[in-house]
Structure 1
Amino acid sequence: MTRYSISFDDGAMTFPAQDLRTVAKAAHEVVQEAEDAGAWVLGGGVESQRASVVATDGRVTDRPYPETKAVLGGFAIVDVSSREEALEWAAKIASACRCAQEVRGLLPDPTV
């Protein structure tokens, strides 16, 4: 099995506010389907109002949005047998969330 990241940028979900409940329900149904299939690892929306950057010396700098370079809106990690299967889950998430999804393979860690 291989893990894949499925994600979208903050601001990609451009549906009308009154559709939020419908979109949230559809997204939760896809998550439940992925859990039932044994593919779901982790996922969720990302708070985009503030980012904390931790430097190599441990110093923490808080940056208000939108000063951060790129802002992730949400993500899912799936563990599946093929890239094609990851793309199928991404298509379901894209449909539920009404926005395009980016799929990237996660490099395996041979020590884990």
Structure 2
Amino acid sequence: MTRYLISFNDGAMDHIPAEDLPEVGKDAHAVIQEAVNAGVFVAGAGLQRQRASIVGPDGLVVDGPYPETKEVIGGFVVLDLASKEEALSWAAKIARACRSAQEVRELMDDPEMDAMLRETARRE
């Protein structure tokens, strides 16, 4: 299985009238529940608008994002899926529910991190 990040940009849902937002939330939660029931959900959340802190390699903290940043992530879900085609299918469901386009990216495989997580889970 491969993990996929499905995300949308901050502001992508700004076209939705305020009175429609409860229905959008209901539809989005229904898709997430479907992913949970299918056993493919890993994580997901909406992100607070423009509330980021940037920590540099030297430890310097700057409230951000960087001024030159044109797009920032507004929300995301990580799913563990068998194929890119399956990821695109889930992204289509999420796009319909959120009434906004979704970006699909494959997460890099990291066997060492997976082993650390399995070991941590085993100890708990």
User: Is the shorter-chain TM-score for this pair beyond 0.5, marking a shared fold?
Assistant: yes
Task: Check if 1:4 corresponds to 2:4.
Answer: yes
CA deviations on 1:54-94 (whole Å, 9 max, x unpaired) are: 0111121113x683613111111000111111111101000
Consecutive unaligned residues of structure 2, counting only runs of 5 or more, are: 115-124
Higher helix share: 2
Please give the residue correspondences for 1:65-76 in structure 2 after superposition, counting only pairs within 5 Å: 67=67, 69=69, 70-76=71-77
Aligned equivalents of 2:54, 2:61: Cα separation in 1: 6
* Paired AA for residue 15 in structure 1: I
Aligned equivalents of 1:73, 1:23: Cα separation in 2: 15
Q: How many residues align?
A: 111
C-alpha contact (below 8 Å) 1:10/1:48 kept by paired residues: yes
Consecutive unaligned residues of structure 1, counting only runs of 5 or more, are: none
* Paired AA for residue 3 in structure 1: R
C-alpha contact (below 8 Å) 1:51/1:68 kept by paired residues: no
Aligned equivalents of 1:11, 1:51: Cα separation in 2: 15
Moved segments of 4+, more than 2 Å? 65-68
SS at match of 1:99: coil
Aligned equivalents of 2:62, 2:9: Cα separation in 1: 22
Higher strand share: 1
